[in-house]
């Protein structure tokens, strides 16, 4: 069995825990000899944090994957201090038929106990990830609710600017030629052109999407449904006013929504998605 042994210290770690690089290497060499493993190569990162993967020796070790069978460290925190990074590494090692050993913690993925501990770590990492997601969602929702009350705001909350707009210094601004295409699109639909007719006209005239694709019902429908063109950004059902130029009035936007709604064959899928214009509209 070929072993890659990995040692790491930062100045803070070395002072706090007393595991110098040489002490780690001596312990790892002795462990590998006792377990009957041949040390393929020693990888050492000095002065690097374990909270990210931007470490030269660590990266080289992963590139040398074909030269070893087991990755051996004295403690798990020597390889990673971030549980998500650790589990990402474990997934990568498992996929490539490699094993991981923490010599002082009885963590060896070649046995049942080691795999059980790794499974527990994975579950903790998943919990951590989900909690971060929940906190992020709540933070975004609070921001959206706050922006909802600021009628003079056009902050994008990090949104990617839709066709017809750009983002400048965090604010939504009209984008010339694209914006005129959107205006024409709404005008044609209000004038009873079908989606097929609009797509044909745009493609025939050489007008493409932002990515250079042809127009079809899907990308056309996305624009006609987007309240951003009527003065509102939508985030998780919350309408946030912006002060960028509108391509269509709220009243005409709602007319478009009604016309599209009437063309939905299944009544159960008919749901009005308009914007405030003095009319009753649900989101």
Active site residues: 10
- Report yes or no: 242 and 172 within 8 Å, Cβ to Cβ: yes
Other Cβ atoms within 10 Å of 247 Cβ, number = 26
List the structure tokens of 9: 């210290």
Residue 154: phi and psi, rounded to 5, are -130, 25
213, 216, 219, 225: CA torsion to nearest 10: 150
- Residue 10 and residue 16: Cα distance in Å, rounded? 10
- Report yes or no: 220 and 198 within 8 Å, Cβ to Cβ: yes
- Residue 173 and residue 185: Cα distance in Å, rounded? 19
The beta strand positions in 12-119, using DSSP E, are 38-46, 70-73, 99-102, 107-108
List the structure tokens of 40: 């393929």
């Amino acid at each position: 069995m070929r072993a890659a042994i990995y040692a790491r210290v930062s100045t803070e770690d070395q002072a706090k825990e007393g595991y110098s690089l040489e002490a780690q290497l001596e312990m790892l060499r002795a462990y590998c000899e006792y377990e009957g493993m041949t040390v393929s190569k020693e990888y050492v990162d000095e002065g690097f944090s374990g909270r990210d993967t931007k470490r030269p020796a660590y990266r080289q070790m992963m590139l040398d994957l074909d030269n070893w069978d087991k990755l051996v460290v004295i403690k798990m925190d020597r390889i990673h201090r971030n549980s998500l990074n650790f589990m990402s590494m474990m997934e990568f090692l498992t996929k490539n038929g490699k094993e991981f050993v923490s010599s002082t913690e009885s963590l060896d993925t070649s046995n049942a106990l080691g795999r059980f501990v790794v499974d527990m770590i994975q579950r903790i990492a998943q919990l951590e990830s989900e909690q971060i997601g929940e906190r992020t969602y709540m933070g975004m929702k609070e921001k959206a609710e706050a922006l909802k009350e600021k009628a003079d705001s056009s902050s994008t909350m990090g949104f990617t600017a839709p066709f017809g707009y750009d983002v400048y210094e965090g604010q939504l601004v009209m984008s010339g030629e694209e914006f005129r295409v959107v205006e024409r699109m709404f005008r044609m639909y209000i004038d009873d052109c079908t989606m097929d007719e609009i797509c044909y006209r745009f493609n025939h005239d050489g007008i493409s999407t932002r990515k250079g694709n042809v127009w079809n019902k899907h990308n056309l429908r996305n624009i006609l449904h987007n309240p951003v063109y009527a003065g509102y950004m939508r985030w998780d059902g919350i309408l946030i006013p912006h002060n960028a130029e509108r391509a269509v009035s709220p009243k005409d936007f709602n007319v478009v929504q009604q016309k599209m709604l009437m063309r939905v064959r299944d009544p159960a899928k008919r749901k009005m998605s308009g914007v405030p214009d003095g009319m009753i509209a649900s989101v």
